[in-house]
Amino acid sequence: MMAHTPRSPQQKGRGHIGGVTQRRGRLEAISSANLTRRWGVILAGGDGIRLRPLTRFICGDDRPKQFCPLLGDSSLIQEARQRAERSIHPDQILYSVTRAHQDYYVRDLADRRSQRVVQPGNRGTAPAILSTLLCISQMDPDAIVAILPCDHYYSEESAFTSALESAFAIAEKRTESIVLLGAKPKAPEVEYGWIELGDSVVGSHPGAFHVRGFQEKPPLPVAERLLRSGSLWNTFVMVGHVGAFLDMAVASVPGLLEALRSASFLLGSDSETRIAEWLYDMIVPTDFSRHVLSPGARRLVTMPLGEVEWNDLGDPDRVLSTLLSTGRDVPKWAVQWRRETKVKRHRDQRMSMAVA
């Protein structure tokens, strides 16, 4: 059994969750019962290798992208936190982080120490997600959980919030299903995962579909077929009962789940939850989308975000194109990066021609 899990708002004695004086915006309109059962997991443990040249250029160090202010004055994890808190009580959001990034996450999450679940290393998205789900299941076996990556851009935050609310509503009724948000594709993208749509979900939210299958980073001809067929980009934003998530893991990665169940989660001196290092020495990297979602597709329901631009900020070109699409003033670092990148590409082309 786990030695420690973060305390819920009720355990912390911070008052009744449904109190209007403690709510802002959309939270005021959500019933106390529904809000109490809602939990969130923000995934912030990735290393951001592909984006490291850009984050080093902006910040002068090797911090991962989630701790870098790529699109404004706030870091991506701060933006993800604000996004989550529009639908979920701040005390019921856990943050999956990696110990190597401690210098960065302690600043952005200084007021959320007991809600930090610290991995000793990066072993992929499956251990990160399942460890936080196990923490939540001990505190609230009836929890409805939203899994939220922290490196996304949405052109209309209100549209995302509306879609997340719909996903919570579907998950409340379909206790054995996981609701996966999909983005309407603009191009045959080969770097994204794709969701193939099945039949409409009868009696559920309009626009909800069963999932027929997944295609992870398909070759161009397959991506073109998926685009023509009406498939969606996989945003990796998921909502479902904590038991439904864990049941999927039992069916697909039973060894990993059992290892996490049997491990001690340690309470650090600053009250954060830490996963034992020896455990991560034993497990292999495991991808949640490939190893859990794909085998469990029959449990999945998907719905589109709506008319909103979505972007996974995975490489420098994507970050720059997103900045240009926002209509905001382009920051000085972006102008300088584009200039230096253009010079470097020209130099590389000249060298290539000289060698040829």
* Phi, psi angle pair for 112, to nearest 5°: -130, 40
Cα–Cα distance, 80 to 153 (Å, whole number): 9
The pair of structure tokens assigned to 116 is: 């930090």
Domain span at residue 75?
9-314
Q: Which residues share a beta bridge with 310?
A: 154
| pLDDT band at 327; cut points 50, 70, 90 | confident
Q: What CATH number should be reported for the domain holding residue 307?
A: 3.90.550.10
- Tally of structural domains, the chain: 1
Most confident of 14-18, 112-116, 324-328: 112-116
Pairing of strands 178-183, 144-149: unpaired
Cα–Cα distance, 138 to 128 (Å, whole number): 16
Rounded to two decimals, the pTM is 0.88
Residue 80 near residue 313 (C-beta atoms within 8 A): no
| pLDDT band at 330; cut points 50, 70, 90 | confident
Rounded percentage of the chain residues whose pLDDT exceeds 70: 85
287-311 per-position pLDDT tens digit: 999 999 999 999 999 999 988 899 9
13-51 per-position pLDDT tens digit: 333 233 333 334 555 555 555 678 999 999 999 998 999
Q: Would you state the pLDDT for residue 325?
A: 84
321 in any annotated domain? no
Q: How many Cβ atoms sit within 10 Å of the Cβ of residue 291?
A: 18
30 in any annotated domain? yes
Please identify which residue in the block is written with the tokens 């992870």. Answer: 216
Cα–Cα distance, 298 to 22 (Å, whole number): 39
Side chain identity at residue 20, one-letter code: V
**Helices marked H in the chain — which ranges?**
9-12, 32-37, 52-59, 76-85, 102-108, 125-139, 157-173, 220-229, 242-252, 254-262, 277-282, 288, 316-326, 332-355
343 in any annotated domain? no
N residues, the chain: 356
Q: How many Cβ atoms sit within 10 Å of the Cβ of residue 121?
A: 16
322 in any annotated domain? no
Q: Would you state the pLDDT for residue 29?
A: 54
Rounded percentage of the chain residues whose pLDDT exceeds 90: 70
197 in any annotated domain? yes
Side chain identity at residue 236, one-letter code: F
62-108 per-position pLDDT tens digit: 999 999 999 988 999 999 999 999 999 999 999 999 999 999 999 99
What's the CA angle centered on 109, arms 115 and 93, to 5 degrees?
Answer: 35
351 in any annotated domain? no
171 in any annotated domain? yes
Q: Would you state the pLDDT for residue 207?
A: 86
Residues 24, 28, 34, 40, Cα dihedral to 10°: -10
**3-state DSSP of 314-349:** CCHHHHHHHHHHHCCCCCHHHHHHHHHHHHHHHHHH
235-248 per-position pLDDT tens digit: 999 999 999 999 99
Mean pLDDT of the chain: 87
How far, in Å, are 94, 111, 156, 180, 275 from residue 139 at the CA level?
A: 12, 20, 33, 24, 17
Checking if the pLDDT of 263 tops 70, the result is yes
Q: Would you state the pLDDT for residue 348?
A: 60
Q: Would you state the pLDDT for residue 30?
A: 58
Cα–Cα distance, 76 to 152 (Å, whole number): 8
221-232 per-position pLDDT tens digit: 999 999 999 999
Residues 42, 92, 155, 190, Cα dihedral to 10°: 30
1 in any annotated domain? no
